Chains A and B, each alone.
Chain A
Amino acid sequence: MLLIPCPFCGPRDESEFGCGGEAHIARPTDTDRLSDADWAAYLFMRKNPKGVHLERWVHRLGCRRWFNLARSTVSHEILAVYKMGDPPPASVAGQEARRT
């Protein structure tokens, strides 16, 4: 069971949270000119690293706010928590492909 540090409420049990998948996916702005392949990339293609994953979580049964986590998909260790809209902290940025 994960112990997730909500940036607003502090550490809480995983069962209070919902996982929203990969973080930092920006909706394309030039949608009228987007190719089918680019639509597919935006809608369906996802990072799925064996290592550090940057992902969104929502504190569903708490403050109900969204935030970002950097978490290892191998050890489940939570490496960083940061707010929506913030870039990943330097300590984890660029580590996504690296295995832990």
Chain B
Amino acid sequence: MTDVLQPPITIAGDDQPQGHDEHHGPTGILKWMTTTDHKIIGLSYTVTSVLMLVIGGLFAEIIRFQLTAPNNSLVSLAQYNELFTMHGSVMIYLFAGPFAFGGLANIIVPIQIGAPDMAFPRLNALSYWLYLTGAITMLAGFFTAGGAANFGWVAYAPLSNSINTPGTGADLWIGGLLLTGFSAIFTGVNLTATIFYLRAPGMTMFRMPIFTWNMLVTGILILLAFPVLTAGLVMLYCDRHFGTHIFSVSGGGVPVLWQHIFWFWGHPEVYILALPFFGMATEIIPVFSRKPVFGYKGMVFATLSIAALSLGVWAHHMFTTGVVLLPFFSIMSLLIAVPTGIKIFNWIGTMWRGQIWFSTAMLMAIGFVVTFLIGGLTGIYLASPPLDFFTHDTYFVVAHFHSVVMALVLGGMGGLYYWGPKITGYLLNERLGKIQFWFLFLGTQVFTFPQYLLGLRGMPRRVPIYPHDPEWKMLNEWSTVGAVMIGISTIVFVVNVGVSWKKHPAGDNPWDGHTLEWFTTSPPPHHNFYRLPQIRSERPTWDYHHPEHRSLGHGTHADEMHSLVGDGFEGHTS
């Protein structure tokens, strides 16, 4: 069966015929298996990755319960190694990335630029199958005799060679990562091609929503970084099974080469994870402040410079190896703080004197900004070698990156509350949403703050037991309290999805949104649009609904103040 992709009908008035033939294809499980529709694939990605968040979260709760008391014996030492390895791996490889670029971006980006689908629909479907089988492969390690992989999510050589880590679990980890790695690469190809080639007429590059911009840059970063990881994994596999000595000293190899390869992927990966969530916040904050985004071009250039710099900072994870060029990596890492600061400034500037509507999505986005700021500031400490020598491999690092990744969870939840109604057609319960927000936001801070203090007091990461010390015990107990609060927030979310199921229809444009996805129906039809408005700014839907407050095109200087201080409401253009 073949679909001929026709562009949507131009808008000439509201009485356009809605008769676009709906799709008649297979139903049920066969529909799921054969679909090439980016919305269904994106939804599969979203559901699977949220399931991964729950699984990784369960591992995390076990880890935290083990650490609540000094000499606890909830899990054995060997099980603990498996748990922290698989917690980190599931969260990074199977939740955060796929949730962002396979899930929400897959659904939203084509709609935001007025495209009927992704550029390569069948490749998109293949991405999902590789992701799903990769996840199954990696998790299958738990069911093998030797248990799951246990060398940490970074698999450092020589710990990861066949003598130190024999077991099938480690090989399943490598295999699963090969599969998900390819799925990410294909998604990167798809995103870049879609954004370069399938934009609607008038949707110039500098009119694209910031989320789409960020996904373009994410796509480019994926293409830069992931092939390096895949190559590294192949080398690791050869070392383990074919007798090569790429990473072993005995055969003339260099163990630290693995670290170079891993982090050359790993640091860009941090931004592959973060940029989509920056984009979500940048969509949510203007809409609920009822203003255009402050400093659109500044945002775009900040995104681009973060991506450009992120290629030159990898060895800040390797300061303590003693064989890297400290000044270069320190300077580059500190430089990244500049564009990140610009973004934070622009988010605040967008909210400044806006008419803020504290919906759940907005709360989550603000929680994201605050939590990310904490993670970013402690990252600046770590970018300075003298401080990193002191804190490396302590709980200070664990706390730093959990401030960052929990900020991403907050942003992602914001994205679900914001776009969920567009995807399903139904609103989520706001009251439960706010309960979820407070548990998640406060839980995150209660969870990380004691860890910062523990790190400064010298508690190493990846240890299941620690000395008796009333202060350490108290701090660890508080951290577990935070982890339990985060767990409760996840339960509230699942309950909310159940409670709100098909309850309150959202309508096409529940938030008075700015971008094209709010112009089409909820959920959007097959091929996304019955009709499109004229695109004359980065807020086409807003312009259509509020012709008296149209945004000014870039380069138009007349009356600029008006568009800066918010034209979303009458009589407030001071």
Do A and B interact?
no
